[in-house]
Structure 1
């Protein structure tokens, strides 16, 4: 590991610790876990390439962590749904449930719905139409089009770019958009979530020159999503018993 990489890690750590002062204890623990696991990945990348390959392989360490935190995010939303649903209207219920189901779907897709964990063979349909012959949708091939690239890479990148960058601005600057976002119970990222995510993204993508480094980035994304739904910017508006019916 070069001195330049070590300095980048040191600066990233200082920035994240500086931002953590306004986080709760649980959020601080999660942020520290994120930082340490990313630093660990960088260390292994520079010291043991074969072990790094195992860490980022299918159903490897980081893919499983991604799935776990997506499920945690989903269960957190389901918990909040059942806790607060009687205080909100139908649109709120639809919005929160859709986000919870989306996170659950992502967690299941990451591990091909436990196919390799439980040693379940793919059906003929998935063997014929899935690029990796797995029981999941994101590796499906329709004609010559890979859904993973079209939908789960390109389209989802645009959607989450809007979610992280545009949505907080709209919530802060437009009363109408704020009301619409809150009505659907959409968890809005706080500035600290974005700061940490940007720092971690640079920390992952710059020093690691490996085709599967995105597995680590997806893990970071899943963990940040958990932090967002746990304590969103609009928590008082969408997860509160007061002033709602």
Structure 2
């Protein structure tokens, strides 16, 4: 039987997210300069929290990969490995692969073609448009709608989709994950700053970590069951 109750980790994650959003909303509406230059600034609290949580998701997925490697088929291994690499890539992109931390100079190519003159892909500019806007934002929005709203329903009702999702180890959200994303989406409207997306990305990082820890289909995909 799948429990519908929140785990202690879920509660801790949501409390952290609520506090982070509360401070973000407060600063964005009382001291926008502080929000932009301190709270949500590059390498600030919000961005560093994103990095840590995205990296934790990657580490958790690699842990699953090696722990259950001998019990699972090649499709499961492909699914988990792709997700682990994707979240490792996302964590690296978030801090420009440590460039600012280690004071590494960007190459001439990135200086000319990156909106922030840094060594990362999501801020690259193509024909005057940032890749982050064209792909990472618009495409990700469509994927999130499918993943958070459509897939959970289809998974529960269509046996073939359930079988395919479990085969490739796709974690299915519990409804509290979906509700948390919807609330975060609603609250972000009240942050009147271009840097509000840093706060939204933090919600993404927190909630996905919670999804990987305890998905709806955890018994099917993250146990030794073949």
Tell me the TM-score normalised to structure 2 length.
0.93
8 Å Cα contact 2:29/2:192 also seen in 1: no
Q: How far apart are 1:63 and its partner, in Å?
A: 1.4
8 Å Cα contact 2:9/2:210 also seen in 1: no
The aligned counterpart of 2:74 is 90
8 Å Cα contact 1:172/1:178 also seen in 2: yes
Q: How does 1:190-209 map to 2 (within 5 A)?
A: 190-205=174-189, 207-209=190-192
Classify 1:80/1:41 alpha carbon distance in 2 versus 1 (closer, same or farther; 3 Å).
same
The aligned counterpart of 2:210 is 227
After superposition, what is the alpha-carbon deviation per residue over 1:186-211, rounded to whole angstroms, capped at 9, x for unaligned?
11111111112212221232x22112
1: CA distance, partners of 2:188 / 2:134: 23
Q: In structure 1, which of residues 87, 90, 113 is the aligned counterpart of residue 97 of structure 2?
A: 113
2: CA distance, partners of 1:198 / 1:160: 11
Q: How far apart are 1:183 and its partner, in Å?
A: 0.2
1: CA distance, partners of 2:78 / 2:161: 17
8 Å Cα contact 2:32/2:193 also seen in 1: no
1: CA distance, partners of 2:205 / 2:17: 10
Q: How far apart are 1:212 and its partner, in Å?
A: 1.4
Q: How does 1:14-93 map to 2 (within 5 A)?
A: 22-54=5-37, 55-93=39-77
Structure 1: state its 5+ residue gaps.
Answer: 1-20
RMSD: 1.4
The aligned counterpart of 1:125 is 109
Using the TM superposition, name which of 159-168 and 34-43 deviates more: 159-168
8 Å Cα contact 1:168/1:189 also seen in 2: yes
Tell me the TM-score normalised to structure 1 length.
0.86
The aligned counterpart of 2:155 is 171
Structure 2: state its 5+ residue gaps.
Answer: none
Secondary structure of 1:137's counterpart equals coil
Give the total of aligned pairs: 222
Q: In structure 1, which of residues 147, 164, 187 is the aligned counterpart of residue 131 of structure 2?
A: 147
Q: In structure 2, which of residues 166, 170, 174 is the aligned counterpart of residue 182 of structure 1?
A: 166
1: CA distance, partners of 2:188 / 2:122: 23
The aligned counterpart of 1:99 is 83
8 Å Cα contact 1:35/1:200 also seen in 2: no
Secondary structure of 2:101's counterpart equals coil
8 Å Cα contact 1:69/1:222 also seen in 2: yes
Q: How far apart are 1:145 and its partner, in Å?
A: 3.9
Q: How far apart are 1:144 and its partner, in Å?
A: 3.5
